Amino acid sequence: MADHKPSKLNPETHLILDQPLLRLPFELLRKNFKVAQRSVELHSSAVKTSFRELANSSLDANSSPDEVLKNVDSMLARMRGLKRKLTECQEEEARLQQQSASRIKHLAELYGMQSYEDVKYEQWSRTRLDRLLVDYMLRNGYKESASVLSKERGIEELVDVETFLKMSKIRESLRCGRVNEALSWCSENKKDLRKMESNFEFMLRFQQYIELVRTQDPAKLIEAITHAKKFLIPYKETYPKEVSQACGLLAFPPGTRAEIYTQLYSPQRWTTLANKFMETHNLLLSLPSAPLLHIALSAGLSALKTPSCHSSHLSSSISPTSHSSITTSICPICSTEVNDLARNVPWAHHTSSHVESDLVLLPNRRVYGTGRLEEYSRKAGLAPGRVKDLRTGDVFDVEELKKVYIS
Amino acid sequence: MDVIQIELAKLRRDGSLNQSIADVDKIIEQLERARETILENPDQASKTLVSLQNPLKNGFDRVLDDLKKVDKGQKSYEKTLNRNFPVKALPTDYDALASYPTLINRAIAMHLVREGQFSVASTFMEETRANPPHPQSAPGTPNLNQIEEDLGSIKSRELEDKFAGMYNILHELKARNLGPAIDWARANSPQLEERGSTLEFELCKLQYVWLFLGPEINGMPNDVNNGLLGALKYAREHFQRFQGRFTRDIQQLSTAMAYVSNLRASPYWRTFDIETAWDDVASSFTREFCSSLGLSAESPLYVAATAGAIALPSHVKYANIVKKKHTEWTTQNEFPVEIPLPRSMIYHAIFVCPVSKEQSTEDNPPMMMPCGHVVAKESLAKLSKGGRFKCPYCPNESQPKDAREIIL
């Protein structure tokens, strides 16, 4: 059997699920810096302008010292405001840098391991599973579980509770039919959204418009038209279909049988918006679109799955490789926890057989390794020359065994 | 990773907003001073302002410079990150699990319970009950609504009690107390025997050996219930029931009494060397305990996530090739590339037909020819075309009807 050293661990390629671990704090660091930069620009130009005006007017000599003082005070207030803002940003920056440091340390531990069989790797992998679980819980809005689990395992620095809490709040508000939270998120991230050419904000505005038309209240309808003029019409080049649909909507009150318009009135759109938000949010922060746990499990279940795992034989597995036990142990895919989940993944591809050495065939068509069969029979208290089937318990004479050759 | 670590340290030293704050502070100070000067000499107000003009401008320039430095630091960190931790696209287009959130939640709940994290498990179950998941049907996956059951179906309470019991027994084993484990094994003796497990006897044997080794090693009080006498007493009381099945072991255990003075050199030392025995019984106990509940010994979620991480590099590579060559996945049931898993993660015997190179399945089982060589059923049919044929591995000739289906 070709042994391609499958237990060798290569950290460079192994770290795939772990990319957001360093990416996210960095993206947040950038965002945080931009906030700081913007407020410096804003405040400095305001202070500079008011200073220039003040200097000019004081040259005229007709301004009273009191007025000058008042102006200086307002400049001071602005500068103190800037300092407050910068201090906030600096605290966030320190937190993110600290977080990155802990995460790098966690990832660096992997570089000290050579093999998957390393005890330290098991520890590390357990921590990784905990991280994946927390990620899953946060994405699905199970925030209590996420915080209890990360506290109990001491991995708070390795998970992104705050980011996801913010996200699920906005998502929930969309599911309840509110756009305000999402709109303010859009304005916070205006630049990046434009760069991404995201239509999310447009869709929010469109939804606002639909809600106004839904009321069929004359005053609201007029509001709807102004809303459309302000937020939708400017995009008629970019989203011609949506804009013309919006115009048409005025002619079709809710309850219409025209299919396009019933779709527009459908409450389902809010769920779509919530999903659209998640998608945009994750893209913006370079987070994977699906929970990492899904990705890991899809790949893992498939790698472990064999045709026997869902077979009707219901043969308990006998590992061809474990030396520690002669008795049957249950394969993880056959175990109840994930058996149904694994039904839909493809089974693993193998190019060579993995079987025990020195196989023999029992008269009941079952095949076992000689060593294991003999040891088991001895432990079962059988007389020499007799063997017992590990799974069915049938007893046979050694004479009846036939050698099996598997190449 | 080291390079990133160094770069981050650099960033923390140079690329911080602290300097900007300090420079903003300086501007504030200047403004404050100017304010005082104006207060003192209201007539000189305009002069004071003029003299402030340049320092103020410089002050703002400095703040901007500071920001530039932070920006530069961050960009250089980003470069290092990109170079040493390059972005690899995750294979997200194929998410077989998105349609079954309830099943995932069930798997997670059971994982938490079996890991003994009962409080997290109960919080999780409460939250999932309060907020049932929104299944997103992924295209291409069949809808299996009938298996999307309520989380309640796992009888969490019962399972939790069982695992609490298991952790209790393991805890006692760690404290070198075999009592609770033996009690459990005795209570489940028929099932264990049916599975061919010798756990009960192994535990009793270890108890005997433990007593035999005496107070010096086991640290228990030196009385009639310990040492040789204790072991003998224990054997009389408990080995009776194993007489039939383990005659030879019991004979060995009792004959060892004769060698007590020189046990280390005796042929019986193997049985009495208990260096790893405690860990061994603990792990076989865990295995048997989980098997009795129909569960695998290791958490499947842990094994699967680990296997997933090991498999992902191959998935990424494969996805790239597919993208580049515009090919498609041709096999429905089988993943197209082999994933090198460590041998400890192979749980079933796997037969790959040496002729067709296909894995055996229920419809295409392995068939053994009279010479003992094995090929898959479909290959056999092709080779023989119904008549006599030669084994592809030896000169032997046989009829297809002589081949027998085997179960690995």
Q: Can you give the residue ranges of every domain in chain B?
A: 2-84, 158-292, 345-405
Residues B393/B379, Cβ–Cβ less than 8 Å: no
Asked if the structure places residue A309 within a domain, the reply is no
CB contact under 8 Å between A298 and B81, yes or no, is no
Rounded to a whole number of angstroms, the distance from the CA of A258 to the nearest CA of chain B is: 27
CA A171 to chain centre: 15
Interfacial A residues in 285-324 facing B (CB < 8 Å): 286, 288-290, 293-304, 306-309, 311-313, 315, 317-322, 324
CB of B15 closer than 8 Å to CB of B92: no
Cα separation, A184 vs A169, in Å, equals 13
Residue A345: which of B96, B299, B368 has the nearest Cβ?
A: B96
Q: What is the C-alpha separation between B377 and B362, in angstroms, rounded?
A: 10
Which helix (DSSP H) or strand (DSSP E) does residue A361 occupy? Answer: strand A359-361
A355 → closest Cβ in B88, B127, B408: B408
Q: Determine, yes or no, domain membership for A157.
A: no
User: Which architecture, in CATH terms, is B345-405?
Assistant: 2-Layer Sandwich (3.30)
Cβ <8 Å between A75 and B103:
no
**Residue A302, in any domain of the structure:** no
Question: CA nearest B207: which of B194, B189, B220, B192?
Answer: B220
CB contact under 8 A, A299 and B347: no
Cα separations in angstroms, A11 against A4, A6, A302, A303, B83: 17, 14, 22, 19, 15
Rounded to an integer, what distance in angstroms lies between the CA atom of residue B87 and that of residue A279? 18
Which of A266, A284, A302 marks a domain boundary? A284
Do A76 and B28 lie within an 8 Å CB cutoff?
Answer: yes
Are B374 and A404 spatial neighbours (Cβ–Cβ below 8 Å)?
Answer: yes
Of the residues A117, A143, A158, which one is the last residue of a structural domain?
A117
**Residues 81-100 (A) with a CB less than 8 A from some CB of B:** 82-83, 86-87, 89-90, 93-94, 97, 100
Confidence check on the interface: ipTM exceeds 0.85, yes or no? no
Distance from CA of A65 to the nearest CA of B (A): 6
Q: Mutation test of the interface with chain B: which of A5, A121, A297, A392, choosing the one with the most B Cβ atoms within 10 A? A: A297
CA separation, residue A239 to residues A198, B278, B361 (Å): 12, 70, 52
CA-based nearest residue in chain B for residue A74: B31
Q: A400 to chain B, minimum CA–CA distance in Å?
A: 14
Whether A159 is in a domain gets the answer no
Looking at the DSSP assignment, which residues form a beta bridge with residue A369? Answer: A359
Per the CB < 8 Å rule, is A296 touching B95?
no
A299 located within any domain: no
Residue A103 sits in which domain range?
8-117
Contact between A240 and A141 (Cβ < 8 Å): no
C-beta atoms of A304 and B345 within 8 A: yes
Q: What is the DSSP string of B307-342?
A: HHHHHHHHHHHHHHHHHHHT-----SSEEEEE----
Residues A187-239 pLDDT 10s: 988 888 999 889 999 999 999 999 999 988 889 999 999 999 999 989 988 89
One-character DSSP codes across A206-227: HHHHHHHHHH--HHHHHHHHHH
* A294 to chain B: closest CA residue: B97
A233–B contact, CB cutoff 8 A: no
Reference A338, options B137, B304, B112, B346; nearest CA is B304
The domain tally of chain A equals 3
pTM over 0.80: yes
Q: Which residues of B touch A362 (CB under 8 A)?
A: none
CA dihedral (B175, B179, B182, B184) positive or negative: negative
Nearest CA in chain B to A362: B406
Query: Bridge partners of B375?
Result: B367
Domain boundary pick from A226, A261, A284: A284
Flag if A341 and B100 touch (Cβ within 8 Å).
Answer: yes
Q: Where are the alpha helices (DSSP H) in A288-360?
A: 292-304, 336-342
Alpha carbons A172 and A187: distance in angstroms, whole number = 19
pLDDT tens over chain B, length 408 residues:
888 888 888 888 888 888 899 999 999 999 899 888 888 888 777 788 888 888 888 989 999 999 999 999 999 999 998 888 888 887 766 667 777 888 888 889 889 888 888 889 889 988 888 877 765 544 444 444 434 444 445 566 777 888 888 888 988 888 888 889 999 998 888 888 777 778 888 888 888 888 888 887 887 887 878 888 888 888 888 888 887 777 778 888 888 888 877 777 777 777 777 777 888 888 888 888 888 887 888 888 999 999 999 988 888 888 888 888 877 666 667 888 888 888 888 888 888 998 988 888 888 899 999 998 999 999 998 888 878 888 888 898 888 888 889 888
Cβ neighbourhood burial of A323 (10 Å; 0-12, 13-18, 19+)? exposed
Inter-chain touch B81–A68, beta carbons under 8 Å: no
Reading chain A (407 residues) residue by residue, the pLDDT tens digits are 334 456 788 888 888 888 889 999 999 999 999 999 999 999 989 988 888 888 887 776 666 778 888 888 898 999 999 999 999 999 999 999 999 999 999 999 998 888 888 888 989 999 999 999 999 999 988 989 999 999 999 999 999 988 999 999 999 999 999 999 999 999 988 888 999 889 999 999 999 999 999 988 889 999 999 999 999 989 988 899 989 888 888 888 888 888 888 888 988 899 999 999 999 999 888 888 888 999 899 889 988 888 888 776 545 445 554 444 445 567 888 887 888 888 888 888 888 888 888 889 999 888 888 888 888 787 777 788 888 887 777 889 988 889 998 87
What region does A365 belong to: left with phi over 0, alpha with psi -120 to 50, or beta?
left
Q: How far is CA A292 from the centre of its chain?
A: 5
Which residues in chain A are contacts of B345 at CB distance < 8 A? Answer: 303-304
